[in-house]
Each structure stands twice: as structure tokens, then as C-alpha cells.
Amino acid sequence: MTAGTDSAPGSAAGRSRDQLPERARVVIVGGGVIGVSIAYHLAKLGWRDVVLLERRELTSGTTWHAAGLITGAGMPTETLIWMTRYTRDLCATLESETGQATGFRPIGHLHRATTPQRLETLRREAAFVRGFGVDNQELSAAEFGRLWPAAKTDDVLGAFYVPDEGRVNPADLTMAYAKGARMGGVRIVEHVAVTGITSTRGRVTGVVTERGTIAAEYVVNAAGMWGREVGAMAGVSVPLQAAEHYYLITDTVEWAHPASRSSRSRTATATTARRAAGSWSGCSSRWRRRGPWAGSPPTSRSPAWRRTGNGWGRTSRGPSTASRLSTGPVSGRCSAVPRASRRT
């Protein structure tokens, strides 16, 4: 079953004429990179009666601002290492399959240690992943500094480097998955919100949307930070709590360019964004905005801002015109923005 309308894909006219099916074997809730990847892989496995529902537009939830790192560093299980390496290899070939670029750049990944305990942990992790074929190399502080010239290295005890890992453009990857899924017969419907899940004797039977009900054998919850709310529709408690992260969009800086390696410590991750601007993704903060870093949160009277359920979002152009919020699981706490990213 394929999607089709009389108008251009994504147009308002096309969306209004695109009727929902009465039933499907699988309904996927959520049009981020995870949901669309599931659709793509189900199609590869021969599942044809698959429908993906996205309440706004593909990538408009949390995918559009993801760092896009693809690395096996710190993965504690064989399964997670395999998934990381599989994704890395797939990103390198998906464009030739679908004709849609993924933005994958194998620019290498650095993981640094500034305490003896962290260095010991990274050595154990490196030994573990090397057992599965990942070329995780231990570096001195000087070698780390040569690979990441902007870094402060006087407190670095050691670092680890995987040369063939890197980053991907999350939005482009999602669109490549979507194109591959559609090629395999998956129907992707945007601007349809799921409002309920039906069940009989504890087994899911379909989803309720603002445009009607779809009967289904399987319902996949791929709603990302909204996964807990979608699970609650079926009476399932999903142990997920969205927490705020921050990131910083700078003007062009000399050392930040598309070929810069990604670097990670226990409390912060540094990447460089597309178009030669520096982008840092760190741990937790109380608020954030899309745009240059500011010293205080916006006021509720500021017209460009609107309050969301978990923090402040701002309406801006991009994959969606909806109010957006950077969210994700918190790992540690950050006391300050890394000094290399501070604006002067």
C-alpha cells in the first residue's frame, strides 16, 4: 500500500485529500528518525500494510535538533555496539539506495578523560568494543590536542579515538528512511494526531485519530519525548520523563567547520553544526532558545516565545513551524558552557 495524492506531497490540498485507511497491520505513532527507521526496516522485512502517523511534519518533534552523533563509544552491550555499527554502515549506503542524502560524515569521534577514574572507565570500554571490531585507539593529551586544536588540554589525562565514526544530519537521514519506506509500500501520513488507542482484553486493536479510527494488529509507540503520553492512551506506564538540554548556535568560528571531529567528555558533547557554525550540546538547563545564547530566559510577554509543557520553545522556520523545545535524557549536570563556545 503506497501513499498518493493528487497534489504535491506535503501540500495542504494533498493532506486534505489523503484519506486514512480503515485498517493496517501496523500503525507507527511518530514521524521522527526512530519511527521512520522502523517503517523502513519493516518494509525491508516484507511488511507492506504499514502506516506511519505524524501529528505535524516529519522530524518536527525532537529529531530536527539532535546532534546526529553515530558512535559506539561507551556502548555497554554487544547489541548496542552492533546497532551502532549497522547504522554507521547503513548511513554510508542509504543515499545510493534512495537518492536522498543523509549528511553522513565519518570525521571521527573523540572521547576524553580528565580524571583517573574516567580514564580507567574509558580503557575498559575501549577494550570491550575492540573485541567487536571497533578501532578504538588510546591517545595522549598531546595527540588529542592535535586532533581537536580548540580544546583545553592541560587537564586531559588521555583520550580515545574511533576514526570511522562521525555524525549524520538527522533530518536528512529521516527523509532518506522515509523515501526508502515509501519505496517499500509504507504509507506516511503527516498532520494527523493520535488521540487514543483501542484495545480488547488487554490487546491493542487500533488507534483513534482526529480524522477517524484505524484498526491495527500492532501499534508502535515511536513518539519520542511524548512516548509516555502515548503509552498512557493504552494504559501502559512508559518510564520516560523529558528533561531539558541546551545547545548553542554561534556565529562562524575559525576552528568549527564541517570536517571537525566530534568530542565528548562525561558531562558534555561538542559537535560542529552545518554551515560552519559551532554547535554545543550539553547537559541540563532550565530553559533554552533557538538562536544566539542569551544571559537570561525570555519573558512570557515576548511575542517570539511561547510556554510549552516542559519549558520554553520558540516558533521558527525549519522542519516545522510549531513551537519547539530541545529535550532529551539528562546525563550528569553541566556547570557552565565550555569556554571555547562562549561569545565575546
Nearest CA to 325 out of 240, 225, 229, 227 is that of: 225
Question: Quick one: pLDDT at residue 261?
Answer: 65
More confident residue, 251 or 37: 37
User: Mean per-residue pLDDT for 206-224?
Assistant: 96
197 pLDDT tier (thresholds 50, 70, 90): very high
Least confident range of 155-169, 191-205, 327-341: 327-341
Q: Which residues have a Cβ under 8 Å from the Cβ of 204 and sit 6 or more positions away?
A: 197, 198, 216, 218, 219, 234
Domains of the chain by range and CATH? 12-65+171-233 (3.50.50.60), 242-344 (no CATH)
C-alpha cell at 6: 493528487
Residue 120 Cα distances to 47, 71, 123, angstroms: 45, 19, 5
Question: Quick one: pLDDT at residue 9?
Answer: 44
35 pLDDT tier (thresholds 50, 70, 90): very high
User: What is the model's pTM?
Assistant: 0.72
* pLDDT tens digits for range 275-295: 333 333 333 232 333 333 233
**E-strand stretches of the chain:** 23-29, 50-54, 69-70, 109-113, 137-139, 158-162, 166-167, 187-190, 194-200, 203-209, 212-221, 243-252, 262-264, 269-273, 277-284, 305-307, 312-314, 327-328
264 pLDDT tier (thresholds 50, 70, 90): low
Q: Which amino acid is at 211?
A: R
